[in-house]
Structure 1
């Protein structure tokens, strides 16, 4: 229970990877603020955790970002861990990319994470041992055709990881990124699996011979949020079964 007395806020945690992360942090002892757009699903995730509250929020909106942070402060008295997991995807050749898709992905994957973290930093600094974990993508390290918009927003998030680590390491805040490959039970894997034959095209390229699971991501996020990762800062961590080795 390394995260006992810690408070975590997990975006995009009404299902899939985010819900697995919320469960992992709760199992390690943290109180969790579950944040997402889907009210019924988010409330159900929060209900199953020992200490949790749910905030229905569209994080592309400024007022929603502040409400999420206020929920951590009001319900649990502080904020120690921020997990930027909420994301959107759009697959297809760059030549076919639309401004609507571009704006939608930038708004959630990059802009929302930037300004939510900015708003959370005073509380994270006050914690004395604040943690920011960004859920990025292996596509920033080994790109793939069809992922131009998505991968570029996640590359921007990786850059923020390094920059915030530099800026706020002296404040006791550690900022790291976990970069999964295809997560077989993640909500955004369905369009990827429609785009690729997973068993034929992907699994043979992975030395571990399997794709990632939401539980794999949750385990790494929980580690990065805990005291064992105190000397990790600005790390971009591939969670890819050896794909980029």
Structure 2
């Protein structure tokens, strides 16, 4: 199951997991785009859902189990952002980011854990942000929701590692073909201010994120648990 996979990073993750042999549950709010992503994959179904609504979590999980009979991998990718100085943040923006970036992840994963334990080799992979390690102007609320996600990653790894569930996070830097690039450009000149600070001298791509998530979902990552993995081209080295 890949949340927020109707386009961008999530769709790339869904394609990567499908190429590795997984059946995929595509989850997101945009019905036409989500159905199109699922249609191009060999074994997939699409579930339309707004995960900021508590009633969506059980429905999404039940649909996945009814369709495929089990759940082995949960990728928490769905997120929203609102960039701007912290002094100007509204309660509406704050609540909107917390609802999807943190609360939805917590309760969807809580609902999924019995199925992941029953799998015998369950994986939870959280798509977080390099902003939890190296902050940037205008990202205080977004970064703090992702920092909470990093803490959940470690907590769940401790709690459910003995049950055979591995919980890890990938923390991308700015993704060139992701939803954050355009809003960040309003605060920073990416070519002038961002790329020269990255030793790799480029931004991440959705394909980069998908490759790491696919690795974390596979047997080569069996002994990784509670890892917060920066995907930043060396920015925080």
Q: Deviations over 1:148-174 (max 9, x none)?
A: 000000000000000000000000000
Which stretches in structure 1 are left out of the alignment for 5+ residues? 1-8
Aligned residue in 1 for 2:92: 100
Provide the rounded CA distance (Å) in 1 between the counterparts of 2:88 and 2:54. Answer: 30
Q: Deviations over 1:162-198 (max 9, x none)?
A: 0000000000000000000000101232111222111
Moved more, 51-60 or 64-73: 64-73
TM-score, length of structure 1 as denominator length: 0.96
Q: Which runs of 4+ in 1 moved over 6 A?
A: none
* Maintained 8 Å contact 2:209/2:231: yes
Question: RMSD over aligned Cα, in angstroms?
Answer: 0.6
Aligned residue in 1 for 2:184: 192
TM-score, length of structure 2 as denominator length: 0.99
Q: Deviations over 1:109-164 (max 9, x none)?
A: 00000000000000000000000000000000001121000000000000000000
Provide the rounded CA distance (Å) in 2 between the counterparts of 1:222 and 1:32. Answer: 12
Q: Deviations over 1:20-64 (max 9, x none)?
A: 000000000000000000000000000000000000000011221
Instruction: Give yes or no for the alignment of 1:32 onto 2:40.
Output: no
Instruction: Give yes or no for the alignment of 1:162 onto 2:154.
Output: yes
**Selected match of 1:205 from 182, 194, 197:** 197
Aligned residue in 2 for 1:137: 129
* Maintained 8 Å contact 2:137/2:187: no
Which stretches in structure 2 are left out of the alignment for 5+ residues? none
Provide the rounded CA distance (Å) in 2 between the counterparts of 1:61 and 1:124. Answer: 22
